[in-house]
């Protein structure tokens, strides 16, 4: 690996722990201003000290992230569809690697839609992006997108998506957690991070998901709604960090979360 690529990977995945907590804030690129991301700058500010990287699109990076902060940015460079449109899988490259370099992104991210009509176009877009990003020593994170199709959240399908993404050159792959998740990790030669999915009812389910994913080989999370829509976003990201970076149990992580909630209550 070239020095630049090594350095960027080390800024994303801690060389000390081998793990990572990415905070995903890119939902607006096709969902618009979802709850708690109406004002990304306000939501992200208290969370930045606990995120190893934030994932955003360029408009939010320019308008809502303070350029004086040094938290690495994983720049979402794909899009072109919305919740209002006919096909959520019709996604293409929306931001050039030159722009990513200008913005000093640490990595670029793009979604692939395996098993859909747009499988070919999103996979060849990934390959093209990897070709260009590698020229600058910039890692590409591939997001295996499955939308609401729950039957696709199975090890057999996710293992296929993650392996294909790695074969085409992704340096990190984002997957959903599933039963037999170790099969997904075993077949993927690059680090795997998990998405959290829609906000869960119970905090302990989020912590359990994180614990299970890391125990089964994920290097960490690239999580959004279950952090920033949490009743205690700081408590939740700190609890997740405890599991991912410090090997905490779910019970220990729940104590971290409870302590943070307690601080907020005592100030009120
Ligand atoms: C959409 C994405 C989102 O960033 C990601 O899935 C959001 O994370 P979460 O599901 O944890 O809110 O990549 O394709």
Specify whether 251 is catalytic: no
| Per-residue pLDDT reduced to its tens digit, 117-154 | 999 999 999 999 999 999 999 999 999 987 666 667 89
Under CATH, which number does the domain 3-229 receive? 3.20.20.70
| Residue bearing the CA closest to ligand 1, atom 1 | 27
pTM, two decimals, is: 0.96
Distance 160 CA to ligand 1 centre (A): 19
223 vs 54, 82, 104, 137, 151, CA distance in Å? 10, 20, 22, 25, 21
Query: Which ligand 1 atom sits nearest the alpha carbon of residue 30?
Result: 1
What tokens were used for 237?
């990201």
Domain ranges of the chain: 3-229
| Per-residue pLDDT reduced to its tens digit, 201-258 | 999 999 999 999 999 999 999 999 999 999 999 999 999 999 999 999 999 999 999 9
First-to-final CA distance of the chain: 50
Active-site entry in 174, 199, 263, 267 = 174
Query: Which ligand 1 atom sits nearest the alpha carbon of residue 196?
Result: 11
What pLDDT, on a 0 to 100 scale, did the predictor assign at position 152? 77
What pLDDT, on a 0 to 100 scale, did the predictor assign at position 72? 98
């Amino acid at each position: 690996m070239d020095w630049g690529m090594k350095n960027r990977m080390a800024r994303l995945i801690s060389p000390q722990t081998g793990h990572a907590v990415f905070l995903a804030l890119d939902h607006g690129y096709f969902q618009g201003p979802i709850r708690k991301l109406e004002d990304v700058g306000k939501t992200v500010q208290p969370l930045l000290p606990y995120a190893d990287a934030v994932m955003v699109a360029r408009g939010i990076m320019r308008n809502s992230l303070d350029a004086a902060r040094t938290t690495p940015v994983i720049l979402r460079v794909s899009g072109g569809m919305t919740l209002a449109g006919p096909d959520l899988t019709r996604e293409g490259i929306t931001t050039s690697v030159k722009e990513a370099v200008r913005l000093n992104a640490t990595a670029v991210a793009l979604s692939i839609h395996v098993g859909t009509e747009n499988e070919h176009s999103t996979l060849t877009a990934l390959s093209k992006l990897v070709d260009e990003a590698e020229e600058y020593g910039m890692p590409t994170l591939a997001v295996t997108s499955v939308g609401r199709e729950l039957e696709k959240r199975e090890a057999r399908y996710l293992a296929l998506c993650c392996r294909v993404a790695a074969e085409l050159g992704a340096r990190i792959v984002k997957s959903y957690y599933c039963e037999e998740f170790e099969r997904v990790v075993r077949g993927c030669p690059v680090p795997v991070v998990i998405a959290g999915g829609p906000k869960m009812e119970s905090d302990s389910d989020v912590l359990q998901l994180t614990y299970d994913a890391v125990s089964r080989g994920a290097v960490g999370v690239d999580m959004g709604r279950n952090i920033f829509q949490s009743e205690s976003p700081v408590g939740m990201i700190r609890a997740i960090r405890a599991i991912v970076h410090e090997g905490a149990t779910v019970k220990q992580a729940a104590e971290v979360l409870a302590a943070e909630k307690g601080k907020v209550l005592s100030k009120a």
